[in-house]
Amino acid sequence: ARIPLTVLGTGAIGTALVRAWLAAGHPVTVWNRTTARTGALAAEGAAVAASAAEAVAASRLVIVCLLDDASVGAALDGAGLTGRDLVNLTTGTPAEGRARAGWARERGARFLDGGIMAVPPMIGSPESGGYVFYSGSAELFEEHRDTLAVPAGTRYVGQDAGYAALHDVALLSAMSGMFAGIMHAFALIGPEDIAPRDFAPLLVSWLGAMTGSARPAADRIESGDYAKDVVSNLAMQVAGNATLLRTAAEQGVSPELLTPYTALLERWLAEGHGTEDTTGAVELLNLRRTAA
Ligand code: NDP
């Protein structure tokens, strides 16, 4: 028999999660602050609880997928969590994940924090490659891993409840830099000079080819040897960046998305790392290590 579960939050992601569990035959109880947003799921077989506390009481396994950590605190305030298995799929920071884990423990619940690496259409379709990072209670994860694997792939990344968020946010932060780069490129090309639709496939293949640089960068960070097998040295790249900024000026495009990165590389060059790879500039970013 499929185990019953509760889902708090039927927003875009919560609704997709509920549909996947219903389709797999799990009895699902849902709650949402705005009740109207549960109507479609009720018609598809979900039980709708009148309050979050009632929804939490309905199943031992409770999935939470709300806007942010503050809404999790607001929704669960007053719910009886003793003996519950709480899985928080709301995006938060690592510190929020750890604090929420302690908060759940104090209330007698086992806790798992999650970071969803998927957009709603990827939920419930394993072939999409979407998955969820989990961290916190290993016992909870082991007991419910098959159920958790219904809507998306699962990756357990450790007992530290902050690690799911750290993995999630690190990937999203890298994506943010990529989105900034794509936006700058579209600003540069016009649309007067180059048609965006002609340019998009070039962007896709170029960025795809360049992402492989993360692997040698990781090797350099782990070995501390930024001078090994250098393909494009820092001095050349800083000179190249000046060309990027002059082109932005020629095209009448604000350099604001590029300048923080180019300035960082210039600082690292000024510290005498011109013949190395750019990777070492990561040391300038790490404020904890710089202060130590
Ligand atoms: P939505 O905006 O669609 O839904 C937000 C949900 O949070 C709604 O159920 C909303 O209730 C509820 N909510 C907001 N504030 C409160 C509050 N103070 N008290 C109680 N409930 C509240 O968001 P998504 O479903 O897209 O996202 C949910 C989480 O999943 C977020 O943390 C997001 O970062 C994460 N996520 C989203 C992805 C996406 O592509 N959509 C991808 C990966 C992660 P109401 O209906 O009443 O407003």
- pTM of the full predicted structure? 0.93
Half-sphere CA count of 180, side-chain side, radius 13 A: 14
Contact assessment for residue 142 and residue 134, using Cβ atoms and an 8 Å cutoff: no
| 79 CB near ligand 1 (under 6 Å) | no
Give the start-to-end residue ranges of the domains of the chain: 5-160, 190-291
C-alpha torsion sign, points 43, 114, 165, 155 = negative
> Which two structure tokens, joined as six digits, stand for 179?
């989105």
| 119 CB near ligand 1 (under 6 Å) | yes
Task: Give the pLDDT confidence of 153-196 residue by residue, as tens digits.
Answer: 999 999 999 999 999 999 999 999 999 999 999 999 998 899 99
CATH 1.10.1040.10 fits 190-291, yes or no: yes
Going from the Cα of 93 to the center of ligand 1, the distance in angstroms, rounded, reads 15
CA–CA separation, 64 and 53 (whole Å): 12
Going from the Cα of 67 to the center of ligand 1, the distance in angstroms, rounded, reads 3
The CA-to-CA distance between both ends of the chain, in Å, stands at 54
Task: Give the pLDDT confidence of 215-244 residue by residue, as tens digits.
Answer: 999 999 999 999 988 888 999 999 999 999
Nearest atom in ligand 1 to 32's CA: 9
Give the architecture-level CATH label for domain 5-160: 3-Layer(aba) Sandwich (3.40)
